[in-house]
Amino acid sequence: MAWSFPIGTVRGTVIRVHVTFFLLLLWIGATHASRGGLPDALAGVAFISLVFACVVLHELGHAAAAARYGIATPDITLLPIGGMARLDHIPEEPWREIAIALAGPAVNVGICLLLAAVLGGMPSVQDGLTVEDPRAGFLPRLFWVNAFLVLFNMIPAFPMDGGRVLRAALALRMGHRDATRMAARIGQGLAILLGFLGLFGAPLLIFIAMFVWLGAAGESAEEDLRSVTRDLVAEDAMETRFEALPPEADVAAAAEALLRTPQQDFPVVDGQGRMMGLLTRDAIILALRQGGPGTPVADAMRDIPRVGRRVTLSDALQALSRDGAVPAVGVEEAGRLVGLITPANIADLLALRG
């Protein structure tokens, strides 16, 4: 994910932190400092950091369950609203999806049981009402935060775990695509209800409603994409009519091609038809400003993923989104470039076959 950086790796899963997470820490520290000075600020930041450590464990629970079914989790990203584990793919077998979805909340249940054992019993409900008070008991507050994480994540709406459990349960009786659409509609109905309740003095509910609505819409769109691409290969979606640039060309020639053609990005191809890289519109403009029109395109191009023409389209799409968004994927045959797959190609495919 853009604007995030790695802080560690656990069994092949990179733990990343989004820059906005530090804005949350800054806001927590400033809020507590205004009430009780530096000690309260440090206590508040320490508590929220520990809460997010529990969030990481929650996401690692998903990753561990996914690994049992041979599904890799390339990374986990911490955001101010929580964590996000990115799986290589979502299993379409309902029981596997249920197991993976429940693994995260199960970790929080385990944390609650451990804290209850340390405290000698379940903390009082009153402790749960003082979660924002840095002077209140540290462990009792952590218990109730984890209890809340269990309940919140089991809301039957995407992108929460409860939404995935609901989708999997529906998929036991109907197709995966229909189950996703129904679960998304249920989630968006719940979002409307939460948003309405939020109008009566609970702005946090409005924020959650927006989060749920967008998550449901996104999951439905992803399922539509998976359904359309399931039986296709790369050559079914690739663009074969494009203008390429030789590696010895300069950015002046690239700029001329940019104005003359509808293309935004240009593959750089040698005399044997081998792809050397891709020159994007932004790279052309930047090279003109910084190096001048004589800058070789080889100095301004970037590398992009390459796949074979008979590779499944799903695998090609994974290459398109891996390590952040890339502008295109090159399709090769016998080492020669024969096509490009771009987000625009995929959008056209969805429009025609969706």
**Residues carrying an active site annotation:** 59
Whole-angstrom Cα Rg for the chain: 25
Question: What's the token pair of residue 304?
Answer: 């992009």
The reply, when asked if residue 58 is annotated as ligand binding, is: yes
Q: What is the dihedral of CA 246, 249, 250, 251, to 10 degrees?
A: -30
Question: 85: which strand partners?
Answer: 76
Question: What's the token pair of residue 237?
Answer: 């979606």
Integer Cα distance of 266 and 278 in angstroms: 6
Helix axes 176-198, 203-229, angle to 10 degrees: 170
SS3 for the chain is CCCEEEEEEECCEEEEEEHHHHHHHHHHHHHHHHHHHHHHHHHHHHHHHHHHHHHHHHHHHHHHHHHHCCCCCCEEEEECCEEEEECCCCCCCHHHHHHHHHHHHHHHHHHHHHHHHHHCCCCCHHHHCCCCCCCCCHHHHHHHHHHHHHHHHCCCCCCCHHHHHHHHHHHCCCCHHHHHHHHHHHHHHHHHHHHHHHCCCCHHHHHHHHHHHHHHHHHHHHHHHHHHHCCCEHHHCCECCCCCECCCCEHHHHHHHHHHCCCCEEEEECCCCCEEEEEEHHHHHHHHHHCCCCCEHHHHCECCCEEECCCEHHHHHHHHHCCCCCCCEEEEECCEEEEEECHHHHHHHHHHHC
The reply, when asked if residue 178 is annotated as ligand binding, is: no
The reply, when asked if residue 62 is annotated as ligand binding, is: yes
Integer Cα distance of 9 and 4 in angstroms: 14
Residues 88, 92, 98, 99: is their CA dihedral positive or negative? negative
Pick out the residues of the known binding site for Zn(2+). 58, 62, 161
Pick out the residues of the known binding site. 58, 62, 161
